Amino acid sequence: MGKKPAPPPDLVPGTLEMLILKTLTHGAMHGYGIAQRLDQLSEGVLQVGEGSLYPALQRLLLNEWAEAEWAVTENNRRARYYHITAAGRRRLAQERAGYDRMSVAIARVMEAV
């Protein structure tokens, strides 16, 4: 009966995984890098707390959408790098299709008078 980590506010459950997978498509990254990148790309809108980020990463590992291995950073420090798997890419494509459909649908509703 472990408590489920709360999703970050205003993020539909599962969306965070989609975003992480998307950032991983450009290459392997460590947790801090992922958080930074999400922050940059969303221009500060998506501030992902560590309390959500690491559980999400564990979920990706559990589902085999991502793999992790320890490597050395450019500053010569040990960090755990995550990279996306083939299953992860398939998952991302699915999520993306669903997301596109949903956003189009939402836009239509919002634009209807």
Partner 1 sequence: MRRLWKRLHRFRHRKQFDADLAEELEFHRRLKQEELQAAGLTEPESRYAAQRRMGNLALATEDARGIWLWHNLETLWQDFAYGLRGLARHRGFTLTAVLTLALGIGVNTSLFTGFNAMVFRSWDVRDPGRVAGVFTVHRTPSGEIRYRGMSYPEFSTLRDQTKQMAGLVALSYGGPQMRTDPGASSRLSINYVSGDYFQVLGVDAAWGRTFTRDEDQLADPRAVLVLSHAAWVSQFGSDRSIVGRTISLNYKPFVVLGVLPENFKGTDMVGPDLWTPLAAIRILQPRSTELSSADQCCVAVFGRLAPNVDRAQARDELTAIQRQAAERFNRPANEIFLTRASIVVTPERQKKIMPAMLLLFLAVSLVLLIACANVANLLLARGAARQHEIGVRLALGAGRLRIIRQLLTESLSLGLLGGAAGIGLSLVLPGFVLNHLADEPLALDLQPDYRVLLYTLFLSILASVACGLVPAFHTTRTDLHATMKGSGGRSGRPSWLRTSLLGAQVAFSLVLLASTGLLVRGLQRAARIDPGFDTRGIVLMSLDLGMLDYDAVRAQDFLRRLTDRVSALPGVTSVSTAVIAPLGNARMRTSVAVNGQEALAKNGLNNVTFNEVSPGFLETLRIPITQGRSFQAQDQGRKVAIINQAMAQRFWPGLNPVGRTFTSDVAYEVIGVSRNAQETQLGRAIEPYYYSLSNGSSSSQLVIRFQDTFNAPLSELTALPTQLDQAVRPRLRLMEESIQSQLHGARMASFISGGLGLLALLLACVGIYGVTAFVVQQRFREIGIRMALGAQRRDVLFLLLSQNLRIVVAGALVGVAASVAAASALREFLYGISPLDPAAHIAMTAILLSAALLATFLPARRAASIQPVVILRQE
Does 1 bind partner 1 (CB under 8 A)? Our answer is yes
The nearer residue to partner 1, 25 or 63, going by C-beta atoms, is 63
Show the site string, 44-83: x = touches partner 1 by CB under 8 A, - = not.
Answer: -----xxx--xx-xxx--xxx-----x------xxxx---
In the sheet with 66-72, reading across from the earlier edge strand, the strands are 29-30, 78-84, 66-72
One DSSP character per residue, the chain reads -PPPPPPPTT--TTHHHHHHHHHHTTS-EEHHHHHHHHHHHTTTS----HHHHHHHHHHHHHTTSEEEEEEE-TTS-EEEEEEE-HHHHHHHHHHHHHHHHHHHHHHHHHH--
Instruction: State which residue, 58 or 103, has the beta carbon closest to partner 1.
Output: 58
Closest distance of CB 54 from partner 1, Å: 4
CB of 29 to partner 1, least distance (A): 12
**Which among 1-9, 12-20, 21-29, 97-105 is the span making contact with partner 1, rule CB under 8 A?**
1-9
Residues engaged in binding partner 1 (CB under 8 A): 1-5, 30-32, 35, 49-51, 54-55, 57-59, 62-64, 70, 77-80
